[in-house]
Amino acid sequence: MNPADDHPDAVVLSAEEYDAVRAAITAVARPRAGGQQPTLNSLLEQWSDIVAELEQEGYSDCAPEFHNSIWCRSALARIWPLLPLRVQSIRQPELDRIDERYRQATVPWPGRPEDGAGWWARRVPRRLEVEASEHREGDWPLGWETTPFPRPAAVQIITWG
């Protein structure tokens, strides 16, 4: 049975393209918890999932944890140039859509370029969730007070509990 028969619009990669994608991921991304090697699909899904969390709920962890949460976008940036051009062109629209959603769910760091390498790490969630009993340092919730600029007015602090 040919997988393309089930999904006539599905793009079928060649064995060489699959091997090249695996090689790119192995060269760049380390196995995650449990020892499982990420895939291009899993990295894009993780990126989409963190963006969906930002869109729907906001972010409830500290700034260093936020950078851990978006590791998948950094991995994608390192993997992308190693992918076959056909794979890049097939998957680029998906990555662009997720990136645009991320830009809408975050705000840029004041005074920092909004584009260029690593642009996603120079953004702050638009909504930060904190427990009502949590101590706050100035305008930022605990764990964000080390951010090197005052909280932008577009960053909303949502208190719960």
pLDDT for 5 equals: 42
The 10s digit of each residue's pLDDT in 108-133 is: 988 887 888 899 999 999 999 988 77
pLDDT for 137 equals: 63
pTM of the model: 0.87
Question: What's the DSSP call for residue 49?
Answer: H
Separation between Cα atoms, residue 12 and residue 113, nearest integer Å:
38
CA distances from 15 to 20, 84, 107, 142 (A): 9, 12, 41, 49
Q: Is the pLDDT of residue 8 over 90?
A: no
The 10s digit of each residue's pLDDT in 19-78 is: 999 999 999 988 877 788 899 999 999 999 999 999 999 999 999 999 999 999 999 999
pLDDT for 140 equals: 86
Tell me the pLDDT of the chain averaged across its residues: 88
Say if CB 139 and CB 58 are below 8 A apart: no
For residue 82, give every residue at least 6 positions away whose Cβ sits within 8 Å of its Cβ, in sequence order, or none: 20, 23, 24, 27, 28
Q: How confident is the model at residue 2 (pLDDT cuts 50, 70, 90)?
A: very low
pLDDT for 1 equals: 36
Helices (H) and strands (E) in the chain, counts: 6, 6
Query: Residue 132: is it exposed, middle or buried by C-beta count within 10 angstroms (0-12/13-18/19+)?
Result: exposed
The 10s digit of each residue's pLDDT in 78-95 is: 999 999 999 999 999 999
